[in-house]
Each structure stands twice: as C-alpha cells, then as structure tokens.
Structure 1
Amino acid sequence: MDISRISQTRHTAKAFDPTRQIPDETIEKLRTLLRNAPSSVNSQPWHFLIASTPAGRARIAKATQGSFTYNEAKVRNASHVVVLCARKTLDDAHLSAVLDQEQADGRFATPEAMATQDKSRRFYVGLHQTELKDERYWIERQVYLALGTLLLGAGSLQIDACPMEGFDAQLLDAELGLAERGLTSVVLVALGYRSEDDFNAKLPKSRLPETEIFTEL
C-alpha cells in the first residue's frame, strides 16, 4: 500500500450512490481504525455513533436543516454515517476505566509503572482542566486525530468519505441523547461510494506548493 498515493488520490465526496453499501467486513476494519486512533496520554476521550440504516441516517439528517441543508443528501445517501463525539470532561470514572483496561491488556510490568502512568495522565488532564482551562478544546483535538485516522483509512480501503462540520450540534445532541451520556457531537463523516454526480471527483487536487508549507531546519 502506497500511503502517499492514497493521500494524493482520495478526495472529499460531495455525492454518494445510495444503492451501494459498504460490506460489513470493511466497516469492521474502519471500527478497528477508530478504536486504535492515537490520543494524548491515551486518554481516548471519544465515542463514535455509527448509522448504517436509513432510519439511523434520517435521525442524523434532522441536524442538517436550515443553513445546513447542503449536507442532507450526503447524510441520507451515504452507506454509513459516523458521528464523532467528544466527552464533555475526563472524569475519574473514565480515567480509571482507561487505566484498568491498560492493566488488563498487560501494559504494566509493575505496580509502580501503573501508578506512574496514572499520575502522568492525571497531570495532563488536570493541566487542561484547571490551569489552561481548555479541556473542551483539548478533547476535541483528540477527536480530530481519530477523524484523520478514519479518513486516511477509508481511502486505503477504497471507501469515499465526506467529513462535515455543517450541522446543528445542539439539535443532534438532543436527538441522540448525547448530553445525558456526557457527550457532544463534534463532526460527522459520511462513508460510502461516490455517485456520478460527485463533481469533486472530477476536479484536480489542489494544495499549496511544498515551498509554502515546509521549512527545513
């Protein structure tokens, strides 16, 4: 697999073929990618809702009304739509659950190593909660690491994708009962296969020249 070629050929799909569905085994690979996405101090401050049915996608499409109607067809016609959510805070229960899972997965050779990991993670969480006071934005940055993993992974599996911030997050949170779960929606990703109406697939890729975006030190 030539990952640089994938980065040059993948694009944001603007229209999906509603007759084509992503095979279950491919969706499982994408779920694995999301589960194993990187996050600061392995905090994993996210949750992913996956809509694979017309009814599920219709619930998400409710948040694409008004100013966001341009995204409605993408949500309804995609094979699957992923709602990438952020935890509203990293509380003790979540941090303990992450630590317990690390222990179960054999990441600590000694109790001291486990204690050191817990102390280090809690230091950074506390830094963003009490000193920098940017916990929400710090958590959302981790969610976007998962987004990047998903988009590049989809491209490697020949799945078209469209990330969307154009939706009513408050409406979607209410529709899906996210607040009660300590979550908030951050970004949507429609997944599927582009249709012949996808104008973006016919356009050349455009990026600033290397001289504008790289500096050698």
Structure 2
Amino acid sequence: MNVADISKKRYTTKHYDKSKTIPAEQIEQLLTVLKNSPSSVNSQPWHFFIADNDAAKAKILPAILEFNQSRVTDSSHTIIFAVRTPLDEAHLHNLLQQEDKDGRFPSADLKSAQDNGRHFFVKQNSATPQTQFEWESRQAYIALGQLLFAAASLGIDSTAIEGYDAVKMDEILGLSAKGFKSIVIATLGYRAADDGNAHRPKSRLPDEQLFTRL
C-alpha cells in the first residue's frame, strides 16, 4: 500500500475493541517513531506518558472528558504528549551532549555552531512563557502526526484527543513538579465492529481549494 492509500484509509476511531491489544513489537516501533520525530533545531521538547494497562488508564480517566473516556478505557494504549515548561538551559546542554555522543560533530566548530543556532531559535520563540509553550506544542504536534500515520501503516487505529482537562491531567501526573505540561492525547488500538466512523466516506475539500502551484 502506498502512502496516499494509507492516508485515504486512516480515520479517527470512535469505538475500540477492548479485547484486542497491540503487539509489543509494534508498540516499540511506534515509540521509535516518536523518538525520531523531527523538531525545530532538534529541540526535542517533549515527553510521552504511556498508559497501557487498566490501572494506568483508571488513574488518568478523571482528566478525560466523559465522551472520550471509552476511547481511553477500550483502546490498547493511551499516550499523553507533554512539553517542557520551561525549555531550560539544562535541557539544551543535555541535547548538545547527546548529539556529541552520537557523533554529529566532526569538529568543535560545528558543535559550537549547533549550540549557538539552537539557542538563537529558542530565544526567538521564547519572548514569554506562553510563546515558548506554543512553539514547543507545534513541535509536539509534528510528533503526533508522525505517530498517527505510522500507526495507520501498521493497521493500528488511532484517535487524537484534545477533549480532556489539561489542568487535572497535569495534577494527576504531577507534571508541574517534573517541569512539563500536557498538550494532547493519542489513543491506539483496533476499531470495534460497530465503529460507525469506519463506514463513513472520507470528506476533504477538493484539490483546487487546497493547492496553488506557483
């Protein structure tokens, strides 16, 4: 199946089959996709909290709006996306050291250039804590898109969820003390037989309203 076909077949799952669990090997593939997702200046401002059992799902359920709760309880895995608040100097130093360890710098000059360039772009997007949070969130949504498409390529269904109480989620997971703030959730699993969304045709605006060739 080519990538266009995958995009045509993927849809937002409304009802999951609770009896089906994603194989561990495929979950590891999806976590690798999250790990390898691109971010501006390789800032990697994210952390992913994974609920893959009933106890973990029950723990976060009070933060999920009622109409989304079954998508958490019945799916195989739920992933909470969080970003750093703030994106501090310790994180930037850790990134640089990891890049150096991974052999990305053939010379000291390239290491310095990477460090200076990343600091420049972080500063450009950190006029206030809110603007920094918004910039980090945009990076995390790139990872979300990667995850949804990768899951579809493996025949795994998914739902992106913004219908939750972020303040309550952050409180449940103790994110403030850890220097994070949640921004979005993704559930992963397999559609239920009665998932009506599976049978509805995909609806998108026509090409002439979406694309302009320059």
The TM-score normalised by the length of structure 1 is 0.96
Aligned residue for 2:168, secondary structure, equals helix
Who is 1:196 aligned against?
A: 193
| Aligned 1:95-110 pairs, distance under 5 A | 95-110=92-107
Who is 1:28 aligned against?
A: 28
Q: Distance in 2 between matches of 1:105 and 1:168?
A: 38
Using the TM superposition, name which of 86-95 and 131-140 deviates more: 131-140
AA in 1 matched with 2:98? Q
Whether 1:50 and 2:47 are equivalent positions in the alignment is: no
| Aligned 1:93-132 pairs, distance under 5 A | 93-130=90-127
Q: Distance in 1 between matches of 2:125 and 2:169?
A: 27
Structure 1: state its 5+ residue gaps: none
Q: Distance in 2 between matches of 1:198 and 1:114?
A: 51
Structure 2: state its 5+ residue gaps: none
Aligned residue for 1:14, secondary structure, equals coil
AA in 1 matched with 2:5? R
Who is 1:172 aligned against?
A: 169
AA in 1 matched with 2:77? H
Aligned residue for 1:134, secondary structure, equals helix
Q: Distance in 2 between matches of 1:74 and 1:32?
A: 23
Percent identity of equivalent pairs: 45
Whether 1:211 and 2:208 are equivalent positions in the alignment is: yes
Residue in structure 2 matching 1:85, options 79, 82, 86: 82
Q: Distance in 1 between matches of 2:57 and 2:75?
A: 8
Change (3 A) 1:17 1:133: closer
| Deviating 4+ runs (over 2 angstroms) | 130-133
Kept in 1, the 8 Å contact 2:170–2:181? The answer is yes
Q: Distance in 1 between matches of 2:86 and 2:122?
A: 9
Per-residue CA deviations over 1:88-146 (Å, capped at 9, x if unaligned) read 12110000000000000000000110000000000011111138971111000001000
Per-residue deviation, 1:197: 2.1
Count the aligned residue pairs.
214
Using the TM superposition, name which of 181-190 and 126-135 deviates more: 126-135
AA in 2 matched with 1:29? Q
Per-residue CA deviations over 1:34-61 (Å, capped at 9, x if unaligned) read 0000000000000001111001111121
The TM-score normalised by the length of structure 2 is 0.98
Kept in 2, the 8 Å contact 1:60–1:75? The answer is no
Change (3 A) 1:13 1:131: closer
Q: Distance in 1 between matches of 2:157 and 2:59?
A: 21
Change (3 A) 1:132 1:69: closer
Q: Distance in 1 between matches of 2:95 and 2:114?
A: 11
Q: Distance in 1 between matches of 2:105 and 2:23?
A: 37
Q: Distance in 2 between matches of 1:78 and 1:179?
A: 27
